[in-house]
Structure 1
């Protein structure tokens, strides 16, 4: 009997040893998302005006993607695609879930969010033994049933809506809406001290310290550099050569860069850097009308389907697995994050037929030299776009479609639709075939806002590309 107990104990110790090794081999995953940043507003993207020393250092340790796309040109749908790895139109999340939109059942604003039948990447990582956390902006539904802690995140510190002040709410800075409130966990509303960008980084660092013995997934979802345009006096002083919104945007970007640097430094201090997969990207193109962001050399801006609305900066670092200081030039999508993260965590996404993203790791390790995507799609209301290899068609509700060869014309200045009518027909047919697979939008813009949206779109088209 004594020997039997010893044998059982040895078996259990062996089991725990294997489990421990497996946990240690799984990489930590830190996904950093900026909000409404301009394509060119980072040093590693060529900016001579803005200062981003921490991200520039990360870029030298990363694979930099020259043709990274989001699945939507506005915040909420783009984030829904990231979280699910699917075109968000497949489950009706086609518009921002904000006041001014109404569902077919009459629900408005707060009562609309990421459908509860959609499983997030955080859910899957939890099942694989990860500790998961979201710090910052959620924007996937303000109602309690959509709360991050009910969608795969063990911890949450942030706000449920789409934007809020960077400063604490108090008598001098009154709260505008309930969803603007900062929240720790579920229902524990509290205000921070100092500048919110810094606070979100501090929360991420605390989480790293508390969970460094487990594989963890951090979704660091900055509201920087989304409006309101608010920066500290110290950061504004760093840009005496700039004025107005551009000056404030530069200061907000510097603050975000510095905050990111503190998180990356903590990973190094804890000896976790080599086995941490880090991704930095942006949720959509910069809204040059709202914050004076620079999307050059791309045409367009947030909310439209020109490259400036949907192409974003993108860095990926994993020292243990991927080369550093390398460029990847085929088009990819933020939809690819879900299967890539799942595969890195030793999960299997190959049997998940509903995913539209692909696991990027074989492509980045040059095990697969083909394009990750032959086709990419975008749609919002009657507006849509399709990219087939280097050809891109943009469909408008009020004028003929436009056709561009993106490889030859990154700024989309030469519409060649008239010269290639057969290509226009081909892409129209492919776009229509894809649209037949989609659900009807769960909510749409109220009629009184439609005229404003159309005017804004026309204004975007008339905006000259900054050079």
Structure 2
């Protein structure tokens, strides 16, 4: 009898200790928008498209004005976010599209620890809802990278509503219009446009919506479907610490806006811009539902919420604005690499703050690791932001950032930045900018500040020597 009581007491102590530890572990939600321009949110200065729910994250937390991602396009940017490393450190340099997503060897290397894996080993329940784009072959399934649940797709894009496109206005890129003409062709809620000079990618080819490991038929507008699944995930796991990576494919092409959302923007004359506005406001409504579920579940003070975009917006493709920055998706200028980044943790982070120092999406890994009670793995490029946000440290978490993608490259060190756009030229053509004085990168100082240019080029070469060759292209 005594031994039974001792065992019972020991079990009670263990359970109590685990419960206390779990109570100290905040839930972590990463809301990732796709191809959202730097200047498109209300809190970023856009008066045309209201985004009150996304803006509320900044209003009730922190807006970062110098937040960067690790690549100017989708896949390597996500690799950097989830590993906390510059993706070229492990050869993840390029952005696979179409059938390349399914190639063996094209994906996030299994040896790289993801944030989901780290948090899973700290007792978190982990979920990915939305876009993966880190490998479509079996070796790279989200289940094999630390996620307990997965609902979404694995390629770079997906239609929000499949043909016959019911309930939406759809605008698709075409090389040639009916009658072999150019421009725009409009029929009811379907528009063809030749403005990009190529056809709409085959996003849905061999790219089903998947629940776990099995294809499913999804009938809701995809942004709404992802939100439905996210609300369910929060509701089902509210009794334990969880990590939710909600990677929306909005506002990535194809351009498809719900008719009821299109009607909210009748004042916008350009139908392409009107569809984009409808897609963005649908995303904002969805973020509102996520925040409402947290409040309903009384999880506001237990949950760190982070909102960001994976890269800058492709302006010609979507009408997205990256103002006041130069360039957009695919560019090593600020418009391709600097993104909206908002963070809220009710009761812990003060409201209506602006953080002016450079940070990176890689910092999400280290910040989350420390909050979960884990040791930050060695050789991480990200930093734990909490000491800076809680005023325990001053200054900037980062002194420099490195980027490389084929013949395009950049380095920011302090307020100085070099950019190489050599394209098909054999020799680099470096430009030099002072970001503090010239946010829009209009004044190339390469000739006037040759010594500074050489200093940054030398540093870029030093860092480049640490990087691995591309695993795939």
Give the TM-score normalised by the residue count of structure 2. Answer: 0.89
What secondary structure is seen at the aligned counterpart in 1 of 2:342?
strand
Match of 1:129 in 2: 123
- Identify which of 219, 234, 246 aligns with 1:220: 246
What is the correspondence of 1:181-200 to structure 2 with a 5 Å cutoff? 181-186=208-213, 188-200=214-226
What secondary structure is seen at the aligned counterpart in 2 of 1:220?
strand
What is the correspondence of 1:104-143 to structure 2 with a 5 Å cutoff? 109=103, 112-143=106-137
**2:405 paired with 1:376:** no
How many residues align? The count is 434
What is the correspondence of 1:208-247 to structure 2 with a 5 Å cutoff? 208-242=234-268, 243-247=270-274
Q: Distance in 1 between matches of 2:410 and 2:165?
A: 46
**Cα contact 1:168–1:191 (8 A) shared by 2:** no
**Greater CA deviation, 278-287 or 144-153?**
144-153
- Identify which of 341, 346, 352 aligns with 2:368: 341
- The offset of 1:378, in angstroms, is 0.9
**Greater CA deviation, 284-293 or 3-12?**
3-12
Q: Distance in 2 between matches of 1:364 and 1:218?
A: 22
- Identify which of 300, 305, 317 aligns with 2:344: 317
Post-superposition Cα deviations, 1:252-281, rounded to whole Å, max 9, x if no partner, equal 000000011101100100000111000000
Distance 1:441 1:111, change over 3 A: closer
- The offset of 1:99, in angstroms, is 4.1
**2:431 paired with 1:431:** no
Q: Distance in 1 between matches of 2:338 and 2:99?
A: 26
Q: Distance in 1 between matches of 2:130 and 2:75?
A: 14
**2:420 paired with 1:402:** no
Match of 2:302 in 1: 275
Q: Distance in 2 between matches of 1:370 and 1:7?
A: 52
Match of 2:190 in 1: none
- The offset of 1:179, in angstroms, is 4.1
What secondary structure is seen at the aligned counterpart in 1 of 2:403?
strand
**2:9 paired with 1:10:** yes
Q: Distance in 2 between matches of 1:421 and 1:122?
A: 44
- The offset of 1:416, in angstroms, is 1.1
What secondary structure is seen at the aligned counterpart in 2 of 1:290?
helix
Q: Distance in 1 between matches of 2:372 and 2:147?
A: 16
**Cα contact 1:98–1:110 (8 A) shared by 2:** no
Q: Distance in 2 between matches of 1:193 and 1:100?
A: 24
Post-superposition Cα deviations, 1:427-466, rounded to whole Å, max 9, x if no partner, equal 000000000001101122xxxxxxxxxxxxxxxxxxxxxx
Match of 1:450 in 2: none
Post-superposition Cα deviations, 1:396-443, rounded to whole Å, max 9, x if no partner, equal 323631111101110111111111100000000000000000110112
- Identify which of 182, 196, 201 aligns with 2:227: 201
Match of 1:250 in 2: 277
**Cα contact 2:103–2:137 (8 A) shared by 1:** no
Structure 2 residues without counterparts, runs of 5 or longer: 171-201
Distance 1:177 1:47, change over 3 A: closer
- The offset of 1:370, in angstroms, is 2.4
Q: CA RMSD in A?
A: 1.7
Match of 1:180 in 2: 207
Post-superposition Cα deviations, 1:324-376, rounded to whole Å, max 9, x if no partner, equal 21000000000111001111111121xx2221001111111111112111110
Q: Distance in 1 between matches of 2:406 and 2:146?
A: 30
**Cα contact 1:159–1:179 (8 A) shared by 2:** no
Q: Distance in 1 between matches of 2:395 and 2:56?
A: 29
**2:379 paired with 1:354:** yes
Match of 1:448 in 2: none
Match of 2:90 in 1: 91
Match of 1:460 in 2: none
- The offset of 1:320, in angstroms, is 3.3
- The offset of 1:176, in angstroms, is 5.8
What secondary structure is seen at the aligned counterpart in 1 of 2:401?
strand
- Identify which of 418, 422, 428 aligns with 1:393: 418
Q: Distance in 2 between matches of 1:54 and 1:127?
A: 32
**Cα contact 1:160–1:179 (8 A) shared by 2:** no
What secondary structure is seen at the aligned counterpart in 1 of 2:308?
strand
